[in-house]
Amino acid sequence: MSGHSKFANIKHKKEKNDAAKGKIFTIIGREIAVAVKEGGPDPANNSKLAAVIAKAKSNNMPNDTIERGIKKAAGDANAVNYEVVTYEGYGPNGTAIIVDALTDNRNRTASNVRNAFTKGGGNIGTTGCVSYMFDKKGQIIICSALSNTKPMAWADLPDSLRQSTLKKRSGTVTRFSPMV
pLDDT for the residue 5: 82
Which residue segments constitute the domains of the chain, with CATH numbers given? 6-75 (1.10.10.200), 83-133 (3.30.70.980), 137-178 (no CATH)
Check residues 36 and 145 and name the one with the higher pLDDT. 36
Q: Which residue, among 7, 5, 30, 53, has the nearest Cα to 102 in the 3D structure?
A: 30
pLDDT digits (tens, 9 = 90+) for 49-104: 999 999 999 999 999 999 988 988 887 656 667 788 999 999 998 899 999 988 88
CA distance 60 to 178: 33
For the beta carbon of residue 32, count every other beta carbon within 10 angstroms.
Answer: 27
The angle that helices 47-58 and 63-75 make with each other, rounded to 10 degrees, is 150
- Range with lowest mean pLDDT among 7-16, 107-116, 149-158: 149-158
pLDDT for the residue 117: 93
- The answer to whether 179 touches 139, Cβ cutoff 8 Å, is no
Average predicted confidence (pLDDT) for the chain? 81
- Cα-to-chain-centroid distance, residue 8: 36
Q: Is the pLDDT of residue 151 over 60?
A: no
pLDDT for the residue 179: 58
